[in-house]
């Protein structure tokens, strides 16, 4: 069974440029998560989807970040415009069930460097 | 609020030595889940184990073992007879049942370096 797929794996952009990350979750997993991991730290949740609905986006900086999950499968996370402090690894995860305790499976992440 | 603390930022051992990673958590919930993930240099977080708050049995899986003690709010992880392939960053995480959805709160991670 294929795992969580993310692309691109690496992205280097200049500040004020837009950038987008793509995620394809494990087949059949209705819940999808985007995390940000700063260097030397654990991941922090940005947004959680149950099917097409964003049910927890309280940690998403909405002035510059946006996300969508059309048709309840693939998801895209966008930053516009990017700032130097956005340099981090962006991880996508999925789980079969949205309730607490449902194991989340992570993709390889997209490493973003903003110059 | 939930919190996970991994006091050891980095541990260096020689191959075949045992290594124990500490994890201390804080929660007001009586029902919660604890996880360990491994993050090798490739970057992907690999799921290792999930434990619910009502199951305090220790678990062993090959060279890995976990010691869950509710009395001290700890969920420690031991790698026996370490190998070079065990070199990675290991994260402990907590999910509270009462919290919205399935939010994971991660500790800061412990980097394990196994030298040949």
Task: Report pLDDT digits (tens) over A45-82.
Answer: 999 998 888 988 888 999 999 999 988 899 999 999 99
Express as a percent the part of chain A with pLDDT over 70.
Answer: 96
Q: Does B101 touch chain A (CB under 8 A)?
A: yes
Q: CB contact, 8 Å: B109 with chain A?
A: yes
A45 touches chain B (CB under 8 A): yes
Locate tokens 């919205």: which residue?
A: B100
Nearest-neighbour CA in chain B from A80: distance (Å): 25
Closest chain A residue to the Cα of B97, Cα to Cα: A100
B47, B103, B106: residue with CB nearest A42: B106
Which of A100, A104, A105 minimises the CB distance to B99?
Answer: A100
Across the interface, do A31 and B102 touch by the CB < 8 Å criterion? yes
pLDDT per residue over B64-100, tens digit each? Answer: 999 999 999 999 999 999 999 999 999 999 988 766 5
- Residues of chain A with Cβ-Cβ distance to B108 below 8 Å are 40-42
Task: Kindly write down the DSSP assignment for every residue of chain A, as one continuous string.
Answer: ----EEE-SEEEE-TT--EEEEEE--TT--EEEEEEE-TTS--EEEEEEETTEEEE-TTS-TTTEEEE-GGGS-EEEEESS--GGG-EEEEEEEES--STTPPPEE---EEEEE-
């Amino acid at each position: 069974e294929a795992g969580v797929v993310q692309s691109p794996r690496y992205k280097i952009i200049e500040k004020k440029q837009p950038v987008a990350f793509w995620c394809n979750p494990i087949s059949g997993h209705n819940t999808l998560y985007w995390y940000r991991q700063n260097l030397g730290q654990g991941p922090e949740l940005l947004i959680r989807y149950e099917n097409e609905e964003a049910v927890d986006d309280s940690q998403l900086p909405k002035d510059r970040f946006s996300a969508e999950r059309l048709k309840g499968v693939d998801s895209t996370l966008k930053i516009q415009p990017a700032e130097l402090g956005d340099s981090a690894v962006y991880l996508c995860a999925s789980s079969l069930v949205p309730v607490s305790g449902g194991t989340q499976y992570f993709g390889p992440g997209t490493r973003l460097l903003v110059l | 609020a939930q919190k996970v603390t991994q006091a050891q930022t980095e541990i260096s051992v020689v191959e075949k030595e045992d290594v124990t990673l500490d994890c201390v958590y804080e929660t007001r919930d009586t029902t919660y889940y604890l996880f360990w993930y491994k993050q090798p240099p490739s970057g992907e977080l690999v799921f290792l184990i999930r434990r619910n708050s009502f199951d305090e049995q220790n678990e062993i899986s090959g060279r890995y073992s976990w010691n869950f003690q509710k009395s001290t709010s700890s969920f420690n992880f031991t790698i026996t007879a370490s190998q070079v392939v065990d070199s990675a960053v290991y994260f402990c995480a907590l999910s509270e049942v009462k919290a919205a959805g399935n939010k994971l709160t991660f500790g800061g991670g412990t980097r394990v370096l196994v030298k040949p």
